Structure 1
Amino acid sequence: MTSSGAPVPGPAVPWKGRRHGPRKDRQWARAWSPEQIARRLPIDFPDDKAMRISHEAIYQALFVQSRGALRRELTACLRTGRVLRVPRARVRRRGQGFVSPEIMISERPAEAADRAVPGHWEGDLILGLGSSAIGTLVERSTRFTMLLHLPRLAGHGENPRMKNGPALAGHGAEAVRDAITRTIITLPEELRRSLTWDQGAEMAQHDRLKIDAGVQVYFCDPQSPWQRGTNENTNGLLRQYFPKGTDLSIHSADEIAAVAAALNARPRKALRWKTPAEALDELLP
């Protein structure tokens, strides 16, 4: 749904042969876990004792039903769309000349690490077929998520390609810089303290981003995704809506915004079962 409550149907997702089998089709939904449902009920219905259930009871109900005809339907509701775990692909060793020692994560303020002060963000790209991508920004203390629409540029896929021209896939350094700026400046200045990213080439214009968006950029160490743990976790949740092996360019800005609204309305254990949207609202003037 959009932030106003209007339903948004998920698009028809075309799959690439071998990708479809182990992951199955998934449904766009709120995708709350049984524990999130159980913990949120007392908050939403404080005076109704009938609205209580343990997450173990929900799991038991799903387990029994999954033996019968609902097994395939339940699989379609899984965030990953698969029952078995798949080993992570090895991260390629990358080194970028635009990363200097003074902007490494070791120089990031200590207040960002302990989540005591809001306004420190983590960012990344989730990638799909045909070099399609969606950008993700997650605030560390509230887990509030904002998604970046990165449409392909005119001329993508055409031959011959312009030599030394812009990245037509839509997630080159200039496109990512503009998308982050356009999105993050909607927040008050006190909620734009820092942004932590990996050493991808899409952040080559971080100096300009600091000027345009008023946010200091820091970079993780190579092959250290755990240094952006909040963002990595969020990207995993987003894969229910944007599965691996699919073309992410088919999603409109409105559809991407609806997915962000769904995540921000999901209660989190780390927030004592508040939603990220509620946690952020408490910080806004």
Structure 2
Amino acid sequence: MLFSEYMVADVCQRFWQVMADGGFITDAAAAVGTYRGKGRKWLRATGGVRPRRGRDLQGRYLSFAEREEIALGRARGESMRQIAARIGRSPSTVSRELSRNAEAPGRYRATSAHAAAWVRAERPKPGKLATNPRLRGVVQEYLGKRYSPEQVAGRLRREFPDEPAMWVCTETIYQSLYVTSRGALKREQTRSLRTGRTLRRPSRKVGQRKNRIPNMVNISQRPAEVKDRVVPGHWEGDLIIGKRNQTAIGTLVERSTGYTMLLHLPRGYTPELVAPALTAKLQTLPEAVRRSLTWDQGPEMRDWQQVKAAADIAIFFADPHSPWQRGTNENTNGLLRQYFPKGSDLSVHSQADLDRVAAELNDRPRKRYDYAKPDELISHLLLPAA
């Protein structure tokens, strides 16, 4: 293998540390004295996953700088003991290095020696997903259902509590997806993940502008039971916006179960269109799960009092620039972007399409419910009274 500066731990790990600290590729590349194009090449080669090799190296490993000193010492005709004393190593360490990594007897170069040591240190070990076809098949099935790797790992422990061979950690799934050398899962399956990215990268969320509406009831006036998430029937709502801000889909998420319903808005999201559609959707719910609704301060909710009266539900509004006050809904909207990408025309989807997506979302296991599914948690509440 040809030598690359990426094999030098001081270069490789410094590059990744800048990326981990929130820097851009240009910043990380500049920090190690290279250019953006090469940084992108390093990212693609590893699938965006920081390599473990070179992290927290123990003192027994020779660095590239030490190998350069060995090469210089040999060129000057120094003995092994002289070289060892100069770099602070034992003579036996220098002797082993020269016997293992010299290109030929009496010919030693730091670059070729470091490349040889890099390859030898790899010692690839087959991953659990590569050696367990049954486990791999289940993981692929769940990823095909758009479960996140964390949901897959949690669900496996729930479904196979007495079979450790069928357990796998979240990071193993990510490594198999993004690192080609792990080889168990195809990188194409990253399209099933929430981001759809083929490279791992830090997530950056952009806040949305919040618009006040008249006569609203602030979130501070919500009953304490809403915050506790114990009593079902308290919902969070919002819109996901489509192409050129002209199309939208309404989203409703129940706080205690994560159960999701989607609102069909094929002709836009003006107040005149949102209020009747929202009312009709809420009226499909039994009274037991129709207690309150928390929305952001979007102008589409101008006629919220009509919705409140017609659907017999209390409505509250979150503070401006405070998406965490509707965290369940914000998270669900992120999941929905797997199905309805930003910039797409949302009017092409029928109510049947939205119901299908909601059903698939409600079939996903959730970590905060010990990997139970929303439809498992709410099904008995949606059944008609006997």
TM-score over 0.5 (shorter chain): yes
> Within 1, Cα distance between the matches of 2:206 and 2:150?
29
1:215 matched to 2:313: yes
Equivalent residue for 1:146? 261
Identify if the C-alpha distance between structure 1 residues 65 and 74 changes in structure 2 by more than 3 Å, giving closer, same or farther: farther
What is the TM-score of this pair, normalised by structure 2?
Answer: 0.57
**For 1:95-174, what aligned pairs fall within 5 Å after superposition?**
95-99=212-216, 103-130=217-244, 131-152=246-267, 170-174=268-272
The answer for the alignment partner of 2:293 in structure 1 is 195
State the shift of 1:91 in Å: 3.3
Give the deviation of 1:77 after TM superposition: 2.6
Q: Counterparts of 1:71 and 1:190 in 2: how far apart (Å)?
A: 45
- Of 267, 271, 281, the match for 1:183: 281
Equivalence for 2:149: 34
Q: Alpha carbons of 1:86 and 1:200: their partners in 2 closer, same or farther (altered >3 Å)?
A: same
Q: 1:50, CA displacement in angstroms?
A: 5.2
What stretches of structure 1 of length at least 5 have no aligned partner?
Answer: 1-27, 153-169
State the AA in 1 paired with 2:372: K
**Contact 1:66/1:74, CA 8 A, preserved across alignment:** no
What SS is found at the alignment partner of 1:138?
strand
From the two aligned structures, give the one with the greater helix fraction. Answer: 2
Cα deviation, residue 59, structure 1: 2.8
Q: TM-score, normalization: structure 1? A: 0.75
Structure 2 residue aligned with 1:77: 192
The corresponding residue for 1:251 is 349
CA shift for structure 1 position 250? 1.3
Q: What is the DSSP-based 3-state SS (H/G/I as helix, E as strand, rest coil) of the residue aligned with 2:235? A: strand
Residue 60 of structure 1: aligned partner: 175
| Number of the residue aligned with 1:206 | 304
| Match status 1:237 vs 2:335 | yes
SS class of match (1:118): coil
Query: What is the CA–CA distance in structure 2 between the aligned matches of 1:29 and 1:175, rounded to whole Å?
Result: 35
Task: Quote the residue 1:265 is aligned against.
Answer: 363
> Which has the higher relative contact order, 1 or 2, with Cα contacts under 8 A spaced 6 or more apart?
1
1:92 to partner: Cα distance? 2.9
For structure 2, list consecutive stretches of 5 or more residues without a partner in the other structure. Answer: 1-142
Matched residue, 1:94 = 211
CA distance in structure 2 between the aligned counterparts of 1:134 and 1:71, rounded to whole angstroms: 32
* % same residue: 56
Change (3 A) 1:184 1:55: same
Query: For the residues of structure 1 that align with 2:204 and 2:370, how far apart are their CA atoms?
Result: 31
1:243 CA displacement: 0.8
Can you list the C-alpha shifts for 1:47-73, whole angstroms capped at 9, x where unaligned? Answer: 666543333432332243378798761
Tell me how far 1:95 sits from its aligned partner: 2.8
Structure possessing the higher radius of gyration over alpha carbons: 2
Among 254, 272, 279, the alignment partner of 2:377 is 279
Shift in CA distance, 37/92, structure 1 to aligned 2, threshold 3 Å: closer
**SS in structure 2 of the partner of residue 135 of structure 1:** strand
